[in-house]
Structure 1
Amino acid sequence: MKLRTRVIISFFIIILVPIVMCALTFYFFVGYKAKIIGEKYGLANATYRTISNNTLLLNAMTSEEYDEVEDTAKSDTAKLEETNYLSVLNARLQKKQSFIAVREDGVIIYNGSEELSSEELENELPKYGDPGANSKGGVYFRNEKQWMVKQVDYKNSDGKECSAFIVTKTDQIAPQITGMVKELGIVIVLILVLTSLGLSFWIYRGVIGPLEQLKKATQNIKDGNLDFTVEPCGVAEINDLCEDFEEMRIRLKETAEEKVEFDKENKELISNISHDLKTPITAVKGYVEGIMDGVANTPEKMDRYIRTIYNKANEMDRLINELTFYSKIDTNRIPYTFSKIHIADYFDDCVEELNLELDAQHVDLTYFNYLEDDPVVIADAEQIKRVINNIVSNSIKYMDKSHKVINIRLRDVGDFVQVEIEDNGKGIATKDLTKIFDRFYRTDASRNSTRGGSGIGLSIVKKILEDHGGKVWATSKEGVGTTMYFVLRKYQEVPVS
């Protein structure tokens, strides 16, 4: 979810949710409180309309006692003169914040009020037969505060004019209603607080949480720790940031690992080159000392010593060239000079040159050209020659038979020319075949630097062929020999329309 969408949703939630929750709370809470107030004051089926209208509430509160007084005035007026009966009735009314008063010929004969005196009641209460008397609606009179009066007029057994009054202060229910309003206010505040907390938590999880994760990730990177994961989470914009951050972390880790591997390879290269240079240098020093000491005391010995020194110097030169070329591979600065090459003529010359070198090493070289026509490739002649020499040198290095053989074959394979260089050496284990083109990889303990070579010859082959748009691979059988294959794409003239 996008941050903009989340903000819009939060805006509507913070408005609509409290409104809906407050409406539901008001409906159920007021209904519940109305029921409680009704039970307290003996109101049947109390509703919000009943408790919100003070007159209706006060009427309903004392309706039962009013009906009783009215019935008594009709059936037994003497009872309204009995103090015991009136005291019992007044006790009931006091629970409802009301009282009863009885007047006979203008004189209060019973006053159930604890606040108002009989004189005050005589002055304030309605007269006998006043309009509105004998009605349940009641009338009001003032005595610092407003009172509601329910009046029942009747004549006693002596024919005297009498009135019975049920008097209720109009603010008696206010504490309950005020309490209900306060409680409702507290509930509404809780709804607003909880809604705000919920939205804050939602926004925190969506925004602040991921930012904290990114902060920790930044600290980890600062401390050099890249072994952690930035989990995607939160709003869409921050989620994208987390994904980009995780990709950056992965790349940094890969770069760090590559640097460690690169340093390791460099150390191994230096070790290999140092070892391989030390061997011919030691030999050169030994033969030079022999010449200086007069050991080469015949022309034949001198010639053999000088040739050995020359060969060892060439070997050192080759190792240094290989090291120089390796540095160019690592920086992608191999100097290529591409041109059209007739592959058959090119291999004829290469094989002729190789034959002279291999003959001196007592290696038989055979060449088979199975090309159907005269294909042309776009290639760097010098670098392709380096590929052939590296493969052949590697083959010779690990030959373990007395009769050493190398076969070179050219074949047509569709849009490519395939070159096969086969030897009858010791072979390579299947598990090592996919790794022989990795830099510094040696298949076993016997393939170590004592045989010469820096361990990067075949990796150079792979790099050159990939830069030519070709590829290289190998098949081998232990104890029988190895065949190296590489392909070069044929050059095809584009017909002019």
Structure 2
Amino acid sequence: MKLKNKLKLSFCIMIIVPMILFVIAAFIIIKWQAYNYKQAYNIDTNVGLETFYSNGNAISEITSGIYQSMIEQAETNPESFSDESALRELSSELKTKLSDLVVRWNGVLLYNSTSFSNDELENLIPECSEVTYGSICDTGYYQSEYGCIVKTLGFCDEEGNVYNVSIVTSISQVVPQIRNSLTLMVLAIAIVLIITAALLIFWIYKSIVRPINKLKLATNNIKDGNFDFKMPKTGNDEIGQLCKDFEEMRLILKENTEAKLKSDIEEKDLIRNISHDLKTPLTAIKGYVEGLQDGIADTPEKQEKYIRTIANKVNDMDRLIDELSIYSRLDTNRVPYTFVKISAGDYFNDCVEEISVELDASQIELDYKSHLDKTVYVCVDPEQLKRVVNNIISNSEKYMVEGRQGKIGIDIYDEGEYVHVQFSDNGKGIASKDLERIFERFYRTDDSRNSKQGGSGIGLAIVKKIVEDHRGMIWADSVEGQGTTMHLKLPKYKKNELACQGCN
């Protein structure tokens, strides 16, 4: 649920749920109070809600049974209301209902169990004088100014004597029940509000505060450089989406941090390797220079040999520095490619001609076979692709086996949408554990820095980067001790498709 919907729902819950719970609580309280009221005053009829909002109804119900008996007695034996003993008995019964009896006979006060004076009774109880034998004047109940509920019967006997019999009940009798009910109502409102607030607070804490606390903990972990944790699953609301985004950010930061650590390690290895690779030719150059200065090379032949060796070492250093410069620019995408459409067969024919001269000087046999025709074109940067070919051939030449006739084969095939170039050699080969990592930057398969192969470990990394920038593929097959085959695939040029930027 979205956060805004949760807030809307919370607002509705704050209004509707307390109202529903209060109505239920009020119904239970009224029923319970009505039951207690009925039991306290021995009321036989049902007592409902009107008992508590209408004082007259409540007090009238208290003496309704006795009042009905008085009506029946007035109809059958009206003379009994002049018997003092009978009146005392009736008054005693009314006292159990917290009521009093007042009887007038022909306008004269015959019996009074109240605390009111005669004058007060004149105002409290109006007299019913216009009655006939066999008829009854029932005034019902009415509320007087003295805080009482009064019910009066007017009737006469056979001799024409007029009776006015009244039941007087104080209104204060129902006040304790009303006060108790109001107290319970207030208590019910407080409980309902507390329960509703507690449920809402728990819900909000669970859906909002708890995820925020988890986010806070996660930010503290990231601040301390700890990325090895996982954000717990949350809902689909805005905060839940924020947690998911935070988890994605954590993974990216973790990857970047690990990549940076790896890069730092590789750079340290590079500095160490380059320092070694530069120090080795520098040491040799220094030695040969000292030999020339000290006159050790005392013949023209020795001097020429020393100078040629110095030149070779300088070339090695220059090549190493050039590799570092090229890789740095490739790694930061600062090498400007110039793509052109060229014939794949003609291009590799030219490359092989240049390579064959160097391989002849190194006494390495070259076997070149092209299975392409001139209609096969590729979109490449000739200079950078030549660097790929030279690095692959140089790598093969570097790892030839001493005492074995070196052989390098180059085969080119037309394979559908690609031009497939294979570079094979009969060198040392690559161990299976190293084969998948040979294109990693700064990775070297030889552990000893004293081996004659040397190298910075970035030659094949340069190759891979250039090939990928050409939207091509490169991989290697090798058998340790027998040789290695490099596979290079370049996409063909398509007339109706822009194969590479700047290639028409």
Tell me if TM exceeds 0.5.
yes
Change (3 A) 1:178 1:308: same
| Structure 2: gaps (5+ residues) | 498-504
CA contact (8 A) 1:401 1:424 kept: no
1:53 counterpart residue number? 54
Q: What is the CA distance between 1:62 and its match in structure 2?
A: 1.1
1:9 counterpart residue number? 9
1:354-369 to 2 correspondences below 5 Å: 354-369=355-370
Q: What is the CA distance between 1:124 and its match in structure 2?
A: 4.6
1:408 counterpart residue number? 410
Structure 1 distance, partners of 2:89, 2:361, is: 141
Q: Residue 169 of structure 2 aligns to a residue in which SS? A: strand
Change (3 A) 1:490 1:183: same
1:177-326 to 2 correspondences below 5 Å: 177-199=178-200, 201-203=202-204, 205-230=206-231, 233=234, 236-326=237-327
Instruction: Report how many residues are paired.
Output: 491
Q: Residue 135 of structure 1 aligns to a residue in which SS? A: strand
Q: What is the CA distance between 1:209 and its match in structure 2?
A: 4.7
Q: Residue 335 of structure 1 aligns to a residue in which SS? A: coil
CA contact (8 A) 1:139 1:149 kept: yes
1:469 counterpart residue number? 471
Change (3 A) 1:86 1:223: farther
2:443 counterpart residue number? 441
Structure 2 distance, partners of 1:431, 1:99, is: 113
Structure 2 distance, partners of 1:50, 1:70, is: 23
Q: Residue 140 of structure 2 aligns to a residue in which SS? A: coil
Change (3 A) 1:155 1:133: closer
The match for 1:457 among 443, 447, 459 is: 459
Structure 2 distance, partners of 1:494, 1:124, is: 115
| Structure 1: gaps (5+ residues) | none
Change (3 A) 1:288 1:86: farther
2:422 counterpart residue number? 420
Structure 2 distance, partners of 1:108, 1:19, is: 54
Change (3 A) 1:412 1:141: closer
The match for 1:135 among 125, 135, 138 is: 138
Change (3 A) 1:262 1:88: farther
1:32 counterpart residue number? 32
Structure 2 distance, partners of 1:20, 1:174, is: 27
1:337 counterpart residue number? 338
Q: What is the CA distance between 1:458 and its match in structure 2?
A: 0.9
44-53 vs 380-389, greater mean Cα deviation:
44-53
Change (3 A) 1:447 1:274: closer
Structure 2 distance, partners of 1:221, 1:379, is: 44
Change (3 A) 1:334 1:135: same
Q: What is the CA distance between 1:479 and its match in structure 2?
A: 2.7
Q: What is the CA distance between 1:361 and its match in structure 2?
A: 3.2
CA contact (8 A) 1:428 1:477 kept: yes
Change (3 A) 1:442 1:42: farther
One-letter amino acid matched to 1:397? K
One-letter amino acid matched to 2:409? N
224-233 vs 420-429, greater mean Cα deviation:
224-233
Q: What is the CA distance between 1:14 and its match in structure 2?
A: 3.5
402-411 vs 12-21, greater mean Cα deviation:
12-21
Q: What is the CA distance between 1:270 and its match in structure 2?
A: 0.7
Structure 2 distance, partners of 1:444, 1:153, is: 133
Q: What is the CA distance between 1:463 and its match in structure 2?
A: 0.1
CA contact (8 A) 2:129 2:162 kept: no
Structure 2 distance, partners of 1:54, 1:219, is: 67
CA contact (8 A) 2:56 2:141 kept: no
1:68-83 to 2 correspondences below 5 Å: 68-69=69-70, 74=76, 81=83
Q: Give the fraction of aligned pairs with identical amino acids, expressed as a percent.
A: 46
Q: Residue 150 of structure 2 aligns to a residue in which SS? A: strand
The match for 1:429 among 418, 428, 431 is: 431
Q: What is the CA distance between 1:349 and its match in structure 2?
A: 3.1
Change (3 A) 1:310 1:53: same
Q: Residue 385 of structure 1 aligns to a residue in which SS? A: helix
Q: Residue 281 of structure 2 aligns to a residue in which SS? A: helix
TM-score (norm 2): 0.83
Q: Residue 485 of structure 2 aligns to a residue in which SS? A: strand
2:501 counterpart residue number? none
CA contact (8 A) 2:104 2:164 kept: yes
CA contact (8 A) 1:207 1:238 kept: yes
Structure 1 distance, partners of 2:94, 2:446, is: 111
Change (3 A) 1:448 1:204: farther
CA contact (8 A) 2:148 2:168 kept: no
380-389 vs 393-402, greater mean Cα deviation:
393-402
Change (3 A) 1:101 1:422: same
Structure 1 distance, partners of 2:80, 2:469, is: 128
Q: What is the CA distance between 1:414 and its match in structure 2?
A: 1.2
Change (3 A) 1:92 1:311: farther
187-196 vs 415-424, greater mean Cα deviation:
187-196
CA contact (8 A) 1:473 1:485 kept: yes
CA contact (8 A) 1:206 1:235 kept: no
Change (3 A) 1:449 1:32: farther
Q: Residue 324 of structure 2 aligns to a residue in which SS? A: helix
Q: Aligned Cα RMSD in Å?
A: 3.7
Q: What is the CA distance between 1:92 and its match in structure 2?
A: 5.1
Structure 1 distance, partners of 2:15, 2:299, is: 111
